[in-house]
Structure 1
Amino acid sequence: MGEQPDSDDTGAPLRAEQVLGPAGIGVWRWNAPHAELELDRTSARLLGADESRPRLLGRDVRALLHGEDFVRLRSTARLAISEHRSFDVRVRVLSETGQVRRVLLLQLVPGEPTGRYPVQGTAAPGQWPEDWADAPEPPPAPEPRPGHGPDRDPRSRAAELRQIDGLNRSPQPPAPPRRSPARSPLASSPPLLPVPTADMRRSREAFLLDAGMALAEAGTTSEVLRVVSTLSMPGFSPDALAVFGIEGAMLTMVGRHGHEPRDEAPFRMSLDADYPGAEVARTGRPVYLSSPEAYRRRYPTTWPLAEGFDRNSWAFLPLVSAGRTTGTWLAAFREPVRFTSDERAVLSTVARMLAQALERAHTNESERALSLGLRRSMGAGSPAVSGMTVASRYVPTGGGLMVGGDWYDVIDLPEGRFAVVIGDVEGHDVHAASLMAQLRTAVHAYAAEGHHPDAVLARTSRFLSGLDADRFATCVYIEADPATGTLAVARAGHPHPVLRLPDGTCLIRHVDGGLPLGLLPQGEDYPVTTMELRVGEVLLLCTDGLIETGGHDMYSGWARVRDTMSPGPADDLEAMADALIRAVHGPASHQGPGHLTDRREDDIALLLLRRDQVGPESEPPVRQLVLTVGQDQPERIAGVRAELRAILHDWAVEDHVDAALLLASELLANVLVHTDQEATLVAALHGTPGERRLRVEVADQSDEQPHRRTPGEMASSGRGLILLELLADRWGMQPRGQGKCIWFELDEAAGDQA
């Protein structure tokens, strides 16, 4: 690695080896983008690798080291990267026959976690920490090769050799030979004795544990295949791998590794063919072929397919999931393998883990494909509506799906009208996403039939209760007329809309509503609230994910929405939508409540609706409030007072605010008590701060005129007009084509002078 030119695209060459190399200490680093271990000559020599090949893949490193040591090295490297501190690890280097060649002390130094080299360090001869004093004395070691470090202390060298001999000491027969990367012969290597059979079994157990962890972390089919291609089994490692799937009556190629590019031709074969992979898929029993002669003898018809790959042993194992054979795994070996009972047990265990990993990956990919299709069906853009502008956003939850139970829709209606819908199905799984798609279709169909908002929600509720008795959904349905700005709103257990006035004031626009959809199959009642959206006003509809994500409750969540919507003009509705999403998932969301809470615990649907100026511009927009109180809704007067106080939040004179609330309540109560009609209140704020004028109108469709009376001391009514004369700067009554209107005005400047 140190001998490469500076122009090498793998990065700047190491310089430390020029100092540490003569001392017998090697330098290495892990190249994360290429998944390679880069070595200098000293490190390559200490590991027993070919010094002319200074790069090793992960499986090559596994083949050079003891299985338990490799697992420990890998976990320690991850810990060094995550905790950003250095660690020392001792590892046993094995020979081609699986015998301990030497012990190395590796120092792991973390780099940038997201950089090219997240971990690097040094390699030096070391000693195993256990006491091997009873090991027999090894024969004298030959002189070290010149140019590879100074002469070592004979006593230290003897201790190292005695320890290595103890590590290899065992009465068991030699372990089967193992294939490893190209190595350089070392004249100074100590005598090699067989690795104990028990030690090899422990290595394979460690390998299976490591393989299981790696496969469990793989989330897609490509990741599973990449993990399998890097597996290096202790004592025997396949040189080529292939995974076959079953499509109908055909055996197909899912993925392969270890073949030349010319071999990447499409593969399809009938399950009835005389091919070992097809036989395994048919019968569910593995096939082990330890030699080319065995392959040729058992499968003469398909032997020519395997003959050209220069392999000498093959293992075909079934991939079984939930008792069903879903495919075949092929492991091919360049070196002959006898397939002992231990080796077959290792291969069978890996095949079971591989089948489960592929099944999980297939399920995840299917769910993501479904959710992606549902998300695309909602559309990424906002429709063009004359007289109104709509902006929409959808942010999925963090559970792996790209869509949850939230949805929105914009529906074209006859005569230039349109409907906007937003809803939230209980849950964040694929079932919730499926119900969402069906509800969205049902709402669209009922709206297209011409039903009014209350009827649309009632029919949708009955539809949902017939689909799934265990799930419910919340929804807001609005029918909008861009020509007049009139909105007919029906709500089913969903959060209230937010109204942003032209000057940036934000109000929670309380509207009547019913129970969530699906809770009462019969007798649903969803009252309709009529309101007017004036030019420059913005109505926000959202699901609870925008409010509560990040550990917020309804109060603090609404405050976050208000603080994001209020500043600046509302000309760019798309920018306002982006700002609202950033307030939840951006850096600013990690301040205040819930800064340690998961930012993807709920998905978010968002709709913004703005009334635009059509034709010549009129006077600048003002704050305005339009509310209706029915004969059977006297409790709504309290809500009217709350919303009227909200638009007067910055009025200079607090007594004027109290007077306005009292007069408005009195006029509304008079309509409910003395007529059989509903009352409509319109409150408008004109002018600039400090010189503003408040005008409140209460209209009804009754022709009966109010009369001034002189109530007695104990009378409970008759003081309405008297209060108007005392508290209002101006007041009056206007007859209309149908009914009448009583109005009053308050001047902010007059209150300051007083």
Structure 2
Amino acid sequence: MADRGASALSLPDDWPAHADSALALNRMGTFDWDLGTGLMTMDARAHEVFDVLPEEYDDHPETLGLRVPPGEARRLDAMVSQALKDGSENYGAYFRVRCRDGTLRWTHTQGYIRRDETGRPRRIIGIVRDATPELAESEAHSRRLMGDDVRLDQSSVIQMATAALAHARTVQDVIDVIKDTHGLTHLGATSLVMGLVEAGRIRLIAEGPTGSFVPGTDVTGIDEPYPMSEVVRTLSPRFIESPEEFAAGYPILWPHITDLKITAAAYLPLIVQARPIGAMGLLYNDRQGFSAEERNILVALGSSIAQSLQRAMFYEQEKDIAQGLQQAMLPRTIPSVRGADVAVRYRAATIGGSQGRDIGGDWYDLIPLPGGRVGAVIGDVQGHDTHAAAVMGQLRIVLRAYAAEGHTPATVMARASVFLHELDTDRFATCLYAEADLATGVVQVVRAGHIDPLVRQTDGTCRRVTVAGGLPLGLSAEFGSLEYPVSTIELDPGHTLLLCTDGLVEQPGADLDDGMRTLTSLIASGPEDVKRLADMLIDLAEERGGDDDVALLLLHRRGMDAPQTGGRLQQHVASGDPEALREARRMVRTAVRAWGARDRAEEIVLVADEMITNALMHTEGASIVTLRSLAGGRRLRVEVEDSSSALPRRREAGDSGVSGRGLLLVDLLTDDWGVEARGGGKCVWCEFEVAQGT
């Protein structure tokens, strides 16, 4: 008896079945989505569910766009994003896949979110399966219960349409929702035509199935003999219940659409607040006639679509205004910079997975400064609306003004923070300001809550430069912490300084450090030309999408073409200190001889002495005398900086004939001269062309 029992309970060799076998029996495929890299691997069964060949899928989820209709993709993206944000462990959804033969079939997915110890999502592991048999059986069961002639009730259809249309932001989104989600399927229609009323005419925005466009109907008059014109004129729907009725009612249109085998049609006015904004036509090729219930469903659906269309039109109008405002706030042109190549780029945000663009507060700027210097700015005002753009514009202008006045980088940032704090706004902003001396390659950097800059070297390697920073603009003034540390970067010839906003760095499921490492790798492998590199980076941001805008500024210090310095000497001269004055004069004479300017030595010494004496006589406080050898030793520059904002002016020579000739000498003996604002004071400068090697 024991032997018989053992024989009856003997197990097969492959017991228990492997998980893959169980999934295959249930028509399920699996996927593993790495949120850090963005790659999603799928097994062979998942390929079959999406109807893609292994060689057609490159492990990037975006590739599945050829199988998942846009409306379904947006709905899935929104659901997954919400699950990642709200801490969910899993999600599930039904969606449709368009097979390679053009048919649509229902699919179901279930994803399980794996997070690290900090709660940050890292991977999604899940299954996909063909849900067509399941839903077909459910629908058949419902029909048996309700009767074959009973379609979905009015409230169900409108609820489904309203839920789908709630995610539509643009007019094209509305069209996609009706075409690619529940609308045409449950209504039984073959195709859709739609037009909007503009200036007393109807402009076609959805033209039905491919190849069905009727010449001359892209824009039609409201008084013309077409069904959409009629429903706009009468504000009443038009139900056409047979081909004969269509041919008799619209003899001009009918000959052009006979190949579509249309057997019935429903044209609906799209009315908002008693005003027609457009019309919609649903075309059928498998029915004749409409019941009273079906007519009510279609009229109610038309009302829901009209509301969504108006919302979308308002959104697009606001978007156009906002984008126009933002473009006006950004610099119209970027000035050319001697000794450098510059590239700037901006990309608006894509909010909620839609194709519409939202305005943001990111900005860039390039500010020419005295002495061959240049200020590079990158910043991000909190928010994505017109208010953020308006604040950005004001902040960009005042920061530019403070820099042009000659303030130090730390002072520029502190004053900008005070300005933002005093504005009637609750927004703050992050910012990075870099002041580069292209003659020496010295870059002074001040950071206000912004991400660090990057530097790409001549060998292509790229590194993140850790820069000490302060609080964001606005917050530092509010908390009384206006001391911004200044860091120094050496930008050698051939190096490129890259400034960007966090929209280029941050990725879903990845922290900032991971994003910076990814960005440095991309820059290292990118093209050498800064304009091509900027295009590559902004294209990658475009492909990735995201709910944040991106601003980008690249400053490449040229090698051979960059102004080369042969030296720089500086002397501090205190008021009433004759020894310091003698040292400054000695420095000028020594530099003139050492830098090969003997032919003009007397002129240079005379002008420098006059400028120093003038500063000490007519201003209070000390002066700073700086000599620079520029352009490979072919040009010599003298600068005298003081703390007075009063500009030098020509005066008549006195009775003794020894006063009032200073500016006259400067004007006659130099090749170029001028006065620049420097913070609370000024700088008087002059330049001399010198013969190299003399």
- Greater share of helix residues, 1 or 2? 2
TM-score (norm 2): 0.47
TM-score (norm 1): 0.44
> Structure with the greater relative contact order (CA < 8 A, sep ≥ 6): 1 or 2?
2
Higher gyration radius (CA) = 1
